[in-house]
Structure formats: structure tokens, C-alpha cells
Amino acid sequence: MTGRRNLSPMNFKTMSIPDVPQGRNGKHKGIVDQILSDLSQVKEGMAIKVPLAELAESKEKVRSALNRATHKADLKVATASDKNFLYVWNQKVAPPVPPKPRD
């Protein structure tokens, strides 16, 4: 006896691990990359206006994706919106407060 088992046929195709894509490009990657690119170029005190009509997804989903990307990149941004635009701007990080001298 050889100890072989009857194996059922495979259900899925296989591929070499080095050929497996490693990055995750979600459906919001394009718009988030555009926003982050513009944020890196905008002057302090200015916001970018993203037309809601041009978004493929809802502003809530884009805002969530942007939030994940900015946290991952350790960026501080703020958002607001109205019925036509999503506004995004860089938040100024407050400098650390020096400790008070002891008496």
C-alpha cells in the first residue's frame, strides 16, 4: 500500500507567491491620491474644494478613505462640506508647550 488519498479536484487556480499583488489599491485610491497631492502643495490657510458631483462614491466614503490615508501618513487635516463641495485643508500642528518653571 502506498498511503495515497483520493484528493478532490482544486476549486481555484494557483499562482506563484512572488506574482501576487502586495499593495491594496481600494476604489478611493485615485481621489485620495489627488487630494493628498494637492494638500502637499496648498499654501497655509487655504483649503481645496473637491466637487461632490465628480466623486464616484459618497462624500462619507471618500472622507473615511482620506481619514485612513492621512492617519497612516501621520498628516493632520480637517474637512468640511456643503451640498456642492468637500473642503479639505491642512491643520496647523500646535508647537509643544514648554513646561512651566517650578517656584
pTM of the predicted structure, to 2 decimals: 0.67
User: Structural domains in the chain?
Assistant: 27-90 (3.30.1370)
Beta strands in the chain (DSSP E): 48-51, 77-81, 85-90
SS3 state at 1: coil
The rounded distance, in Å, linking the Cα atoms of 100 and 103 is 9
Please give the chain's pLDDT, 103 residues, in tens: 556 677 888 888 889 988 887 766 677 888 999 999 999 999 999 999 999 998 888 999 999 999 999 999 999 999 999 999 999 999 986 667 777 777 6
Task: State the DSSP string of 34-94.
Answer: HHHHHHTTSPTT--EEEEGGG-SS-HHHHHHHHHHHHHHTT--EEEEE-SSEEEEEEPPPP
